[in-house]
């Protein structure tokens, strides 16, 4: 009830409010929800090693002084064939595109630990960027802590940007051996690709940036000529033009971080706060997410199902909340039925001696306590559909 009241309440606007709507896109399992949770400072989005944990568009809200960041955590960009395989509904294909329409800035997240996909953006991501070329975009390389050979970051960054960032060509120059723990300091040096032109009207990147954010980008700027963007909106490319592209040459910045460990997330957060433009807040300052408590609960339980059930089994589970009650001492009692299509799936979910379902209930209950900041008693029942 309190969350519903806050969402319906008019935002408590400061005298000079600033706002930035951020769409985070990328391949499934790139770490979008993990990054969102780190930026928010609390776990409200589901996280799993399996793809398509996020099933819908949800918003996270960061309010800092006079600035509000609205993060649009979107499902991983996928295609109709994969959507059908994982029993995903139509919204999984349209939500990322809807988020882009409302965004002031787009973060493209790439998992650098995946050696199969890290050197090229997926066709879905490239198609999305080419459809909205007027929206400033930033490349975020995630899971850099997993990458043992840090010099590969230079190659990856060059491939994903086609060697151009903020209108400047990237030059890889020899430098002293980097600390293997370093996640952002890479010897990339942008040099001017073309004469500096006028700033993009209305672009949040026309502002001066403080030294901290420039260091966090991992790019050593040889001059200020490109700091305001290229001044030229990238031209729309058709699907044919995308076939020969591995990267996107119109990124404004590159950030390198480890979202799971929180490395360099604050640097990205400071940068985002600086890009906010004058405008009214959309949410009350106490709102952390647009999701209802029930949606958060469903998502956290689904996260555990994805983690502990094999193959396609968790994608066929239907969740039905039967009880949602607040006790006399403020504790929350939740009873949820998990409906599965087959008896064999029921046995997998319960596990030998009920170990699997007990572990899911225990871990989900703990996450819910951390999310709701109250005592939670969670009971899960497993039943065969029909």
Residue 94: per-residue pLDDT: 42
What burial class does residue 132 get, using C-beta atoms within 10 Å of its C-beta: 0-12 exposed, 13-18 middle, 19+ buried? middle
Higher pLDDT, 336 or 326: 336
Nearest to 252 by CA among 121, 107, 141: 107
For 281-320, b/e burial (b = at least 16 CB within 10 A) is bebbeebbbbbebeebbbbbbbbbbbbbbeeebbbbbebe
Arithmetic mean of pLDDT, 76-97: 45
Nearest to 111 by CA among 78, 141, 153: 141
Residue 109 burial (CB count, 10 A)? 24
Spans of all domains in the chain:
1-173+244-278, 293-384
Q: What is the CATH number that goes with domain 293-384? A: 3.30.300.20
Q: By mean pLDDT, which of 8-17, 24-33, 197-206, 325-334 is the weakest?
A: 197-206
Question: Does the structure show a pLDDT above 70 at 232?
Answer: no
Question: In the CATH scheme, what architecture does the domain 1-173+244-278 have?
Answer: 3-Layer(aba) Sandwich (3.40)
- Average pLDDT, rounded, for the chain: 78
Sheet holding 376-384, edge to edge: 318-326, 332-340, 376-384
Q: Are 74 and 57 in contact (CB under 8 A)?
A: yes
Q: By mean pLDDT, which of 35-44, 58-67, 237-246 is the weakest?
A: 237-246
pLDDT by residue (tens digit) across 20-40?
Answer: 999 988 887 788 888 988 999
Arithmetic mean of pLDDT, 326-345: 92
Are 1-173+244-278 and 293-384 the same fold in CATH?
A: no
Phi, psi for 269 (deg, rounded to 5): -60, -45
Question: Does the structure show a pLDDT above 90 at 335?
Answer: yes
Residue 149: per-residue pLDDT: 87
Dig out the tokens for 121 from the structure.
């953006």
Strand duo 58-64 + 67-73: pairing: antiparallel
Residue 247: per-residue pLDDT: 94
Q: How confident is the model at residue 283 (pLDDT cuts 50, 70, 90)?
A: very high
Q: How confident is the model at residue 191 (pLDDT cuts 50, 70, 90)?
A: low
Alpha-carbon distances, residue 346 vs 49, 309, 356 (angstroms): 22, 11, 11
The CA distance from 125 to 271, in Å, is 23
DSSP-H helix ranges across 31-138: 32-40, 80-85, 91-101, 123-131
The CA distance from 349 to 242, in Å, is 43
Question: Does the structure show a pLDDT above 60 at 161?
Answer: yes
Question: Does the structure show a pLDDT above 80 at 327?
Answer: yes
Residue 49: per-residue pLDDT: 64
Question: Does the structure show a pLDDT above 70 at 234?
Answer: no
The one-character DSSP state at 182 is -
Higher pLDDT, 354 or 8: 354
Alpha-carbon distances, residue 267 vs 133, 212, 293 (angstroms): 25, 7, 30
Question: Does the structure show a pLDDT above 90 at 15?
Answer: yes
Place of tokens 């509000």: 68
């Amino acid at each position: 009830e309190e969350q519903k009241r806050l969402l319906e309440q008019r935002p408590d606007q400061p005298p000079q409010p600033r706002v930035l709507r951020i769409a985070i896109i990328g391949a499934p399992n790139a770490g979008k929800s993990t990054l969102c949770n780190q930026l928010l400072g609390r776990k409200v989005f589901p996280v799993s090693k399996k793809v398509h944990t996020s099933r819908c568009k949800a918003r996270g809200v960061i309010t800092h002084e006079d600035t509000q960041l609205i993060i649009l955590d979107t499902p991983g960009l996928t295609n109709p064939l994969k959507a059908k395989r994982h029993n995903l509904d139509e919204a999984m294909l349209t939500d990322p595109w809807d988020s882009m329409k409302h965004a002031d800035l787009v973060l493209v997240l790439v998992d650098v630990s995946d050696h199969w996909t890290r050197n090229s953006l997926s066709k879905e991501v490239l198609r999305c960027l080419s459809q909205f070329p007027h929206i400033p975009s930033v490349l975020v390389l995630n899971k850099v802590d997993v990458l043992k050979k840090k010099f590969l970051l230079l190659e990856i960054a060059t491939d994903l940007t086609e060697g151009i960032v903020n209108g400047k060509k990237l030059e890889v120059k020899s430098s002293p051996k980097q600390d293997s723990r370093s996640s952002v300091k890479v010897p990339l040096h942008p040099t001017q690709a073309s004469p500096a032109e006028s700033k993009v009207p209305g672009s949040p990147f026309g502002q001066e940036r403080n030294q901290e954010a420039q260091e966090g980008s991992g790019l050593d700027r040889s001059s200020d000529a490109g700091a305001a963007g290229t001044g030229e909106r990238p031209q729309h490319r058709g699907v044919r033009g995308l076939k020969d592209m591995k990267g996107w040459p119109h990124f404004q910045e590159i950030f390198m971080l480890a979202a799971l460990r929180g490395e360099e997330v604050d640097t990205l957060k400071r940068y985002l706060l600086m890009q906010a433009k004058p405008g009214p807040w959309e949410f009350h300052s106490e709102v952390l997410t647009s999701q209802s408590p029930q949606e958060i609960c469903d998502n956290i339980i689904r996260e555990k199902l994805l983690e502990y059930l094999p193959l396609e089994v968790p994608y066929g589970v239907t969740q039905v909340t039967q009880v949602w009650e607040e006790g006399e001492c403020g504790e929350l009692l939740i009873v949820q039925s998990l409906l599965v299509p087959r008896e064999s799936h029921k046995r997998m979910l319960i596990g030998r001696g009920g170990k699997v379902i007990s572990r899911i209930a225990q871990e989900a209950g703990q996450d819910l306590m951390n999310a709701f900041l109250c005592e939670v008693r969670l009971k899960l029942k497993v039943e065969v559909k029909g």
